[in-house]
């Protein structure tokens, strides 16, 4: 799309792209609903919905109690992680950033693993502990990196790396000393496990995610400016420090919530923003909604593959995103690496 290049992003463009991507998203949701070990076609759903045929209880239950909540959570996770990736890449001015780079993921993982060790329930207990882990990590990293009330990007990155390394060691400790079935739960969580999603989990996460996303979107043109340098941005009136605080905190919070329920699903926050930027340009007013919708579609598709590829057994969805994401990233580096090392 070269339209941006001499017209800028217009509301019309955003709405149009938004429509197209939403259409794709809905399409993927419908297709994913019909895929699985139990064969349920959309035609069946229609005939049941309209009362033309009496509802097959089992199939109905499978669709709406198993598949749909899972698909919706996958969409929500993809949505959140992609926005997080876009924002972090802009604020940290680093194309390798994703919302996990500051340590939120490993903090959440430690929380979840502790929850698993203590035998807490998977619908609310483990996620709660996981979120506490995420929160603790966010405050720790931001606290260490704040200087005179400002957040230094390079300090943030470094602190994130160290925190990640430390918590990864903690995770390894737990894994090494667990030998019963809890080990499986831990490992699956670490690679993303969307099975047995409950609607209550969605209703807990959705409001905050929507609020934060809207706030972030309001700042999209500010993010554009920051890409050109923090100082220039300040000069033109962007409140860079405030933006950093709000964004890092907000994104980390919603990332923490979402991975508390889904486990750590990598590559989405890294790849989707780059993909969308390649196709639609770097203007965040378009990039943010596009990445959000694209990320949702991507993760739903990946989760569906994870569900059916070894059916009726399952793979963790993080494996699929890694298989898809890593080669793509290598391609990106080869094709466009020079841009990122430009001075």
Q: Cα–Cα–Cα angle for 181, 184, 190, nearest 5°?
A: 145
* Piece of the chain touching other proteins by CB under 8 A; list 43-51, 62-70, 139-147, 325-333: 62-70
User: Interface with other proteins includes 277 (CB under 8 A)?
Assistant: yes
User: Interface with other proteins includes 337 (CB under 8 A)?
Assistant: no
User: Interface with other proteins includes 221 (CB under 8 A)?
Assistant: yes
Q: 108, 307, 320, 321: which one contacts other proteins (CB under 8 A)?
A: 307
User: Interface with other proteins includes 5 (CB under 8 A)?
Assistant: yes
User: Interface with other proteins includes 199 (CB under 8 A)?
Assistant: no
> How much is the CA Rg of the chain, to the nearest whole Å?
21
User: Interface with other proteins includes 313 (CB under 8 A)?
Assistant: yes
Query: In whole angstroms, what is the distance from residue 142 CA to residue 137 CA?
Result: 8
Q: Which of residues 95-134 bind other proteins (CB under 8 A)?
A: 95, 119, 121-122
Which H or E element spans position 150?
A: strand 150-151
Would strands 146-147 and 150-151 be described as parallel, antiparallel, or unpaired?
antiparallel
User: Interface with other proteins includes 180 (CB under 8 A)?
Assistant: yes
**DSSP result, 2-18:** -THHHH---HHHHHHHH
Contact 258, 77 (CB under 8 A): yes
Query: In whole angstroms, what is the distance from residue 66 CA to residue 76 CA?
Result: 16
Q: Which residues bind other proteins (CB under 8 A)?
A: 2, 4-11, 36-38, 57-58, 61-62, 65-67, 89-90, 93-95, 119, 121-122, 179-181, 184-185, 188, 193, 195-196, 218, 220-221, 224-225, 227-229, 231-232, 234-239, 277, 281-283, 285, 307, 311-314, 339-340, 342-343
């Amino acid at each position: 799309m070269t339209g941006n290049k001499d017209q800028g992003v217009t509301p019309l463009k955003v709405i149009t792209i938004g429509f197209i991507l939403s259409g794709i998203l809905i399409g993927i949701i419908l297709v994913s609903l019909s895929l699985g070990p139990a064969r349920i076609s959309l035609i069946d759903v229609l005939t049941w919905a309209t009362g033309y045929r009496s509802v097959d209880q089992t199939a109905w239950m499978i669709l709406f109690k198993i598949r749909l909540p899972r698909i919706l959570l996958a969409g929500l996770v993809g949505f959140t992680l992609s926005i997080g990736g876009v924002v972090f890449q802009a604020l940290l001015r680093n194309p390798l950033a994703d919302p996990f780079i500051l340590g939120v993921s490993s903090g959440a993982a430690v929380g979840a693993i502790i929850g698993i060790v203590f035998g807490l329930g998977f619908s609310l207990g483990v996620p709660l502990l996981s979120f506490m882990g995420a929160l603790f990590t966010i405050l720790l990293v931001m606290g260490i990196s704040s200087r005179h009330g400002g957040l230094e990007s390079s300090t943030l990155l470094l602190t994130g790396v160290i925190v990640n390394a430390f918590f990864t060691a903690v995770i390894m400790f737990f894994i090494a000393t667990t030998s019963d079935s809890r080990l499986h739960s831990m490992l699956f969580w670490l690679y993303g496990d969307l099975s047995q999603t409950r609607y209550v989990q969605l209703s807990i996460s959705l409001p905050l995610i929507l609020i934060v996303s809207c706030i972030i979107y309001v700042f999209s043109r500010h993010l554009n400016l920051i890409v050109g340098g923090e100082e220039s941005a300040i000069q033109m009136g962007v409140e860079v420090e405030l933006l950093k605080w709000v964004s890092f905190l907000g994104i980390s919070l919603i990332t923490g919530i979402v991975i508390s329920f889904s486990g750590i699903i990598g590559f989405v926050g890294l790849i989707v923003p780059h993909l969308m930027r390649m196709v639609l340009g770097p203007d965040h007013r378009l990039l943010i909604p596009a990445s959000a919708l694209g990320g949702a579609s991507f993760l739903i598709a990946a989760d569906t593959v994870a569900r059916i590829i070894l059916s009726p057994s399952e793979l963790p969805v993080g494996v699929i995103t890694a298989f898809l994401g890593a080669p793509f990233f290598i391609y990106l580096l080869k094709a466009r690496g020079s841009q990122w090392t430009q001075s």
